[in-house]
Structure 1
Amino acid sequence: MELLKASVSLVPWIASKVAKHLAYPFKVSTNIRALESSLEQLDAQKRDVETTITNADRQNGTPTEQIKLWLREVEAIKQKAVEVSNKYQQQCRCIWNISPNFWSNYKISKRAAKQHAELMNLCGKEANIPVVSHIAPPLVVEMPLAEEMSVSTSNSSNLELAHQLIMDGAKNIIGIWGMGGVGKTHLLKQINNKIYKDSTFSVVMFVTCTKECSVEKIQNEIISKFGLNKSDSMEERQRTILDFLKRKNFVLLLDDLWSRMDLESVGIPTPYGKVGNCKRKVVLTTRSEDVCRLMKVDKKMRVKVLAWKEAWSLFKGQVSEQTIDSHPYIVKYAVDVVKELGGLPLALITVGSAMRDRTDPSEWQREVELLKQARHNVELSARDETVFKVLKFSYDKLRDDNLRECFLHCSLWPEDHPIEKNELVELWMGLGLIDEDDIQMAYDIGYHYIRILQSVCLLESTDNESQVKLHDVIRDMSLWIISNTGVEKNKWIVRSGASNQCRVVIDRKTEKISFMYYHVDGISFPSLNNTRLSTFLFTWSNLTSFPVVLQSQQLKHLTVLNLKQNKINVFPTEICNLFNLQFVDLSGNYIEYVPAEIRGLVNLKYLFLKGNPLYALPIDVLYKLSALKVLDLSPPCHYGEMTQTFESNFFWSLLVCLETLPEFGALGFELNHSLAIEMLSRYNVPVRWLTITIWEGGDGTLFFPSAFLESSQPSKLYSLSIADMEIEWVDFLSTHESKSGNKSSCELGRLEHLGIYRVGMIEFRWGSLDAPKIFFPFLKCITISTCDRLGNISWVVHLPCLRELTVSACKSINRMIHEYEVSEPTFPLLKVLVLEGLPKLQTISDQEIKFPALETMKICGCNGLRNFPFSADNIPAKLNHIWVEEEWWNTIYSQDYLRSSLIEYVRFLYY
């Protein structure tokens, strides 16, 4: 009986199997269509994977072994599936697209069904396989270009010719030469971008050279760009670069080379050209044809000035057609201007920008006359001087001598080095080029001057809003003007970046000396006696003591001394004999006390001692400094390495002293008690840079006392730092009762920088979601670091002017933005977002946040974070880079389409 029951239970199973096999001959066309459909789907997935691998390869990516195996399996089964489909199609062609062979149909249908299942299995399998195992820093990076330079026919022709030469197997070193400002750098960037769009070369190295370029500089730039191992040894760096490049197709682009460079010493593999399966090319730009000869180029290519039609088009685009058409005479004068500029692109852009919106014909007539006076026929060897005479047009048409002097002092910074706006304005103030009783007004005028210089292309913007830079040709022109068109060559001496001993040549006419980032083993100056030296800058270098050469009492003209960011540990008493000094900056050194001899600086207006571990300053002597306007004693609290230890009553004595100084306008200082903040309101001493540390009063809440809120002090604050304290709350919008019984609030209308460091706090208190916008209407930069109990920073999301936000080393924060007003724009101007060392951070916000201006993100040490604040369909339009750790990147997304959406922005961090 048991056997019978078992036999009966098998009947349905046997019947289903028999039915399945009997159906094969009748479902042959259905199974073939399903097979072809799955084959098409698998082929599409294969192409997507190959595209991902190709894109990753451009960034030195490596396909995983799993994906390689998957691709081999795809090829094998794809071949079998095609054979089955073809066999069926051949049989159908015999009799009216129908296969009459029952047994053949059975076998084909059965194989089609089996392979369809295998194909679908492979389709599903691919989604769980990582495609790329490693992506290093990109080996080819697209570079930004000025659109106005790209539209000319000659530029397109030059680009096409250069590209052909690079592709030519016989041309291995290509030299592009021409006068300064003719567009060589722009062309080299175009070459870079053209290579970026094809796959001929896997590595492109764009290196900006300078007059002081060295093997070491090029090595460090290549190593930094591609995340290679760093070394103090030139030979080790050479081997590192050689090993990196020797099996790759590469192009080395050297921009603005001034002399012969030994590329083998850099580590560039030789010979150039095609070596085995590798292609090796070098392209350089230079102003000198001799450099092409010294570099033994295989093909020289000269970039010439623009022809009339292109020059006119470029100039008109800068001036604007509206200006050109505003008066019949202006067209005539504009034509004359373009003729005088001789087709030089940089001159056309510079002068055109200066004349934009000038609609008075008499102004145009005067400018034509000035240009004609400035332009002379010169020999070929003086061609750069011709350029300077043309570019000097924009300098000459600055509104006054004061602004022209401001521009010339920009050349005290090194070539191709960014200039901090605040440092530049402070130098102008120290030189007396800006002299205002209101210090904030002085800074505002300085920023205004910078905007004017930018508007006429004498200064350029950078990626960092706090910085500007000088084009190297404009800088050379500036130094040419300073030297009285080359006659007084040592009038201003500007040096940077030297690495060995040197002697500086100074004569009696030397007025300015600038050494920045000047890391030297030894440096010697001749005697400065009887010179007209008025400005001495030696910053960001390795000075450990005051330069002996400045100890001479005969330096009666010296008014500006800047020795910031060195290693000086004793205040140089020698400078106290230089009674004409008006500006002294010793910030960022290791000075502990200021000597009483400082009383000799009776003309001192600006004294910057920020970032020194000070513990003593002679208050009784400060009374003698009647001209003092600015005193910055801000501590180095940003770094937590050094502290200031002034006596407890020092602050009160300092306020009493400074209030008596008739010219005083700005103080930078540290406070450590609520009573100290309240005390500020009793004195008419403007505080511009305030640091609050080691809070000792109250109920665990940091707040601004009502006396302070009701005073004029809040409107003068430019930078506020809160550091090193254990508190529960930061109450920015205080509701403490004032003496009049009214609740007080405060607007920090001038505050642009807010830093919060090493504060054990829970959160910020605000009266409403709108309060931060009212309190911080112009806040541009926020840095929050090492606040271990901080929960979120939702209050920052609607700040109208916030440009940079950095949050680091906050152990408790798990969600950055907790709540915000959905109807208002989020982070309207934020350009830089940095998140570092936030181990519990899980999300930036539960709601979608828009970043309309975001350009750069950095995420590091945020292992709990599993997503970005935007989706693949909502990537910020201005986004350039996302800096992340590779290990973290490999864990956040499993779907390849999300990776492919973000991969072009991702850059990996290497430590």
Structure 2
Amino acid sequence: MMYFSGISQALGCLKDCTSDSCNYVVSYEDNLSSLAGEVSQLKSKSEDVKREVEATMRQGLTTRNEVLGWLRAVEGVAGEADQIRAKYERMIKCFCRFPANICTSVKLRRRAEAALASARELKQRDLPEVVHRHNLVRFIRMQNQQTAGVEKAFEELRRHARDDGVTCIGIHGMGGVGKSALLREFNNYLENELEYLDIIIFLESSTEHKVEELHKFLFARLNLTWQNGVSQMDRAANIFRVLSHLKFVLIVDNLWEPLDYRAVGIPFPEPESRCKIIVASRIEDVCSHMRMERMIRMERIEEEAAWELFRFNARLEPNDADERIIRIAKVMARKCGGLPAALVVVAQTMANKKTVQEWMHAVNLMRDAPFQLPGMEERVLYPLKLSYDRLLTDRDRLCASYFSLVPEGCLVDNYFIRKLWIGEGIIDDFNNVWESANETHYLLGMLSSSSLIQRIDGKSYASEKPIESDRFKMHPMTRAMILWVGRACGKKGSKWLAHYGDGLAEAPTAEKWRVAERVALGQNKIRALPEAPQAPDLIYLDLGYNDLLVKIPNGFFSRMPKLKILDLQDNPIEDFPVGICNLALLQFLTLSGTKITSLPRELGALVNLRYLACSSTTRLKRIPDQLMSRLQELRWLKMCDGYNQWRAAPSEEEEAYLEELEVLTKLKVLGIAISTETSLRRLFESQRLTTSVHWLQVEDCRGLTRLDIPSTEFPQESMPNIMELRVHAMNELEEFAIQGTALANLMELHLSHLPKASLVCRAVGCLGSLRTLRIENCKEIARLIQLDAGTNDGEEIAIFPALKRIVLKRLPKFESFSDESRTLTFSSLESIEIEECPKLTRINLCCGKLKSVRSERAWWDELEWEDDLTKLSFENLFKPL
């Protein structure tokens, strides 16, 4: 009985053991199955991460250590799971799949459970971005020198940078004005500003920047691995991928050409990205081509700030320094034109100069040869020369050089520079004044964009010459640079002689003429010129406005074989210098304002002459026939207020006749004075001449009582380009009438010495372009203008919509600006000048833009006013003559 009881216990134990093993095997299988499932999912996720890592490695990017550690952990868990499965398979020996060693299997189960927990944890872990960005240097502080006068530009730049709607900011201005200093200061300012930025990149471009150089810089700045043999496109793609995930500010200094964003790999910022691109260039068009949304022009610093910068660098203490030195120092500071680079260089040069004599010598050098001052060539002139050299063609540089031949700070208008450019051949292909003016404006705009000249607001000048309203000037340091270049970088000081307005009493010595190429001696006090200076290379000679120069020696021009530009304007010379006729290459000649009485027939030898001006030559009475017809290269001929004896046809007097002008096929711009009715009719019969006429003066036409434009004699299309019309000294003219669009482009109308005439307008708006109206010495004119029927009494009529200036002088019967009961409105009128108009007792004008009324005080005080308010409003406009 006890035997069976022992067997029963043993069988019970075996049953329990078998039951536990079976349960263990079942749960063990579950663990292995779960582990295999988790590891499979984990491997899928790791494959995705590996692909990202491989892509970043191909791009040369640095992968986060955390990501690499996760991948290693995944590999470890997967290896552990494989080992557990293999060991488990070896332990299963019986057909019931009982493990041979239960103790060993318990350890294996625990390993499986641990591996399962690790797999689940790795699968659930949130991985950071694969690329490691925290090793990028966010900011590099830039070394900067003392800055002055950039506060306004800095504040504007700061404001734009904080505006999330602005992504691209352009800064432009001449070399040495402080653009680099501004950007360096702004870069340093950003260190603690715009906290959201991942990186601030400061890139200094070279004169000839290459894409590969930019790539190397950006690869280094972004911690990318540079590999040789990689294509430019792939490198740009790598840079683009990184910057696309960063919030960046890219500052590019000293850019000479527009950056190709795609070629470099720079993503163009969208407003929502809050990224910024800031570019500085001397060339405004570079900023425009790069789609800069805001433009900041760096101007020269103001005089007070300039003086403080100069004084600081010259170590001048106002209380200690000699007052005479302080005065000279301020002159030198002004000659630097507010350019920080020049102010610092000149001031540092003078810092150890203690005597007045040293300072006086230095200020003379600043005027005549600033390149001789230490540091000027290397630190001022050479950097400015880069802008000059970067102009695309020799023609462009030649355009700029003309500004250096006028006095320092002189304002130059479109007309002045255009006539010289035409004479030089820079402007050649044009059909009328407007086309030549447009091309001139284009070239001036290019020079302005390149920071070689500065545009000056010319609104006050517009009333005189409407299409010449803009004026320009060249910075004194830019002028000094161009003269330095023209003088072979200072090696040939007399090669360019720019002494316009210097008060010279004597002409340059013979030695200076011998090497000269361009000589500007205008507006001086020169009385005499050398007899026959040897000037084999002379191209340009300006002798204008020397009011003491009465005679020019006949041999003066005999040794100037290359002369192309000759200006004798407003000299009191009476005899035409016949030596001019031997200047075979001459292209530009102005004799306007001289006292010459005739032109020699030999002048016809100037077969290359393009521009000839003889305006205001009131003593010029003779031009021989067959002279003008020989000037076949002539483009521009202006002879207003001068010679008026043009014949309608050849005559026995052998005087010039109009047909000679008709054969000048290249003539596009003509200013002419006509003194006979037959010549006037002949002029209007010639389509070639009437198309060329831009200035017309009609005077002394005996027997002409009516001048109607248009009419049978003067057809509608007769003068499409006329800009200025003068009707003068016509004793028998009773009516000057205008209608239609015959004078649609007329800008100035001048009526003078017409004792019987009245001005009649037969159609409202027929003078829609008129800017200036002058009426002088016309005894019968009682109203500004008479209107024909077609308008109602009491109606306000805008007869002159563009008129800006009215001049009325010596009109004894003039009573009113309006036409009887009809009020004329002058919507653009800015200026009125009234002198000796005794019957004009009231100013009945409708004009909202009037700025000044010039007249005698006595006449003004006697005016009648509708009410005190009207009187008060006009009182502020009064300017005494």
User: TM-score with structure 1 length normalisation?
Assistant: 0.52
Amino acid at match of 2:418: V
After superposition, the C-alpha distances for 1:226-254 in whole angstroms (9 at most, x for unaligned) are: xxxxxxxxxxxxxxxxxxxxxxxxxxxxx
Aligned match of 1:48: none
Q: Which runs of 5+ in 1 are unaligned?
A: 1-302, 369-373, 637-642, 735-744, 875-892
Cα pair 1:410 1:470 within 8 Å, conserved: yes
Q: Is 2:457 aligned against 1:461?
A: yes
Matches within 5 A, 1:778-789: 778-789=769-780
Aligned match of 2:517: 511
Q: Is 2:493 aligned against 1:489?
A: yes
Cα pair 2:747 2:771 within 8 Å, conserved: yes
Aligned length: 545
Change (3 A) 1:580 1:693: same
Matches within 5 A, 1:628-639: 628-636=634-642
1:701 shift after superposition: 1.9
1:578 shift after superposition: 0.8
Q: Is 2:695 aligned against 1:689?
A: yes
Q: Please, which of 678, 683, 690 is the counterpart of residue 680 of structure 1?
A: 683
SS at match of 1:504: coil
Cα pair 1:749 1:778 within 8 Å, conserved: yes
Cα distance in 1 for residues equivalent to 2:485 and 2:164: 30
Amino acid at match of 1:446: T
Cα distance in 1 for residues equivalent to 2:175 and 2:410: 36
Amino acid at match of 1:670: A
Q: Is 2:436 aligned against 1:442?
A: yes
Q: Please, which of 663, 667, 672 is the counterpart of residue 664 of structure 1?
A: 667
Aligned match of 2:742: 747
Aligned match of 1:540: 545
Aligned match of 1:827: 826
Matches within 5 A, 1:492-891: 492-499=496-503, 501-505=505-509, 506=512, 508-520=514-526, 522-524=527-529, 528-548=533-553, 551-612=556-617, 613-636=619-642, 649=649, 654-683=657-686, 684-685=688-689, 686-697=692-703, 700-704=705-709, 706-707=711-712, 709-710=714-715, 712-727=717-732, 729-733=734-738, 745-768=740-763, 770=764, 773=765, 775-794=766-785, 798-818=799-819, 826-845=825-844, 849-852=846-849, 854-860=850-856, 863=859, 866-867=862-863
Q: Is 2:154 aligned against 1:312?
A: yes
Cα distance in 2 for residues equivalent to 1:404 and 1:868: 59
Cα pair 1:718 1:753 within 8 Å, conserved: yes
Change (3 A) 1:855 1:535: farther
Cα pair 2:504 2:524 within 8 Å, conserved: no
Cα pair 2:782 2:813 within 8 Å, conserved: yes
After superposition, the C-alpha distances for 1:500-557 in whole angstroms (9 at most, x for unaligned) are: 633525254422111222124x455596425311111111222544533963433111
Cα distance in 2 for residues equivalent to 1:488 and 1:494: 13
Cα distance in 2 for residues equivalent to 1:611 and 1:839: 31
Q: Is 2:464 aligned against 1:470?
A: no
Q: Identity rate of aligned residues, in percent?
A: 20
Cα pair 2:179 2:280 within 8 Å, conserved: no
After superposition, the C-alpha distances for 1:472-505 in whole angstroms (9 at most, x for unaligned) are: 5354454345445544433321224455633525
SS at match of 2:665: coil
Amino acid at match of 1:445: E
Change (3 A) 1:404 1:575: same
1:783 shift after superposition: 1.8
SS at match of 2:742: coil
Amino acid at match of 1:666: V
Cα distance in 1 for residues equivalent to 2:848 and 2:725: 26
Cα pair 1:722 1:755 within 8 Å, conserved: yes
1:867 shift after superposition: 4.1
1:341 shift after superposition: 5.4
Aligned match of 2:401: 408
Cα distance in 1 for residues equivalent to 2:441 and 2:480: 23
Q: Which moved more, 1:453-462 or 1:487-496?
A: 453-462
Cα pair 1:849 1:870 within 8 Å, conserved: no
Q: Is 2:287 aligned against 1:358?
A: yes
Change (3 A) 1:625 1:794: closer
Change (3 A) 1:840 1:387: farther
Cα distance in 1 for residues equivalent to 2:173 and 2:407: 37
Cα pair 2:590 2:614 within 8 Å, conserved: yes
After superposition, the C-alpha distances for 1:87-108 in whole angstroms (9 at most, x for unaligned) are: xxxxxxxxxxxxxxxxxxxxxx
Cα distance in 2 for residues equivalent to 1:483 and 1:803: 45
Cα distance in 2 for residues equivalent to 1:687 and 1:335: 44
Change (3 A) 1:591 1:501: closer
1:748 shift after superposition: 1.9
Cα distance in 2 for residues equivalent to 1:867 and 1:332: 53
CA RMSD across the alignment: 4.7
SS at match of 1:782: strand
After superposition, the C-alpha distances for 1:359-385 in whole angstroms (9 at most, x for unaligned) are: 444999xx99xxxxx999978335666
Cα pair 1:677 1:708 within 8 Å, conserved: no
1:647 shift after superposition: 6.4
SS at match of 2:626: helix
Cα distance in 2 for residues equivalent to 1:363 and 1:781: 40
1:604 shift after superposition: 1.4
Q: Please, which of 401, 419, 422 is the counterpart of residue 429 of structure 1?
A: 422
Cα pair 1:583 1:604 within 8 Å, conserved: yes
1:563 shift after superposition: 0.3
Change (3 A) 1:464 1:322: farther
Matches within 5 A, 1:278-293: none
Amino acid at match of 1:812: K
Change (3 A) 1:311 1:645: closer
Change (3 A) 1:430 1:747: same
Cα pair 2:172 2:284 within 8 Å, conserved: no
Cα distance in 1 for residues equivalent to 2:571 and 2:172: 56
Change (3 A) 1:672 1:646: closer
Cα pair 1:836 1:861 within 8 Å, conserved: no
Cα distance in 2 for residues equivalent to 1:493 and 1:688: 35
Cα pair 1:329 1:361 within 8 Å, conserved: no
SS at match of 2:416: helix
Cα distance in 1 for residues equivalent to 2:291 and 2:170: 9
Cα pair 1:841 1:864 within 8 Å, conserved: no
Cα distance in 1 for residues equivalent to 2:489 and 2:575: 41
Change (3 A) 1:530 1:763: closer
Cα pair 2:857 2:880 within 8 Å, conserved: no
After superposition, the C-alpha distances for 1:128-180 in whole angstroms (9 at most, x for unaligned) are: xxxxxxxxxxxxxxxxxxxxxxxxxxxxxxxxxxxxxxxxxxxxxxxxxxxxx
1:352 shift after superposition: 7.9
Query: Which one has a bigger Cα radius of gyration?
Result: 2
Cα pair 1:550 1:575 within 8 Å, conserved: no
1:723 shift after superposition: 0.1
SS at match of 1:843: coil
Cα pair 2:170 2:292 within 8 Å, conserved: no
User: TM-score with structure 2 length normalisation?
Assistant: 0.54
Cα pair 1:692 1:723 within 8 Å, conserved: yes
SS at match of 2:802: coil
Amino acid at match of 2:493: K
Cα pair 2:669 2:694 within 8 Å, conserved: yes
Cα pair 2:411 2:472 within 8 Å, conserved: yes
Change (3 A) 1:868 1:396: farther
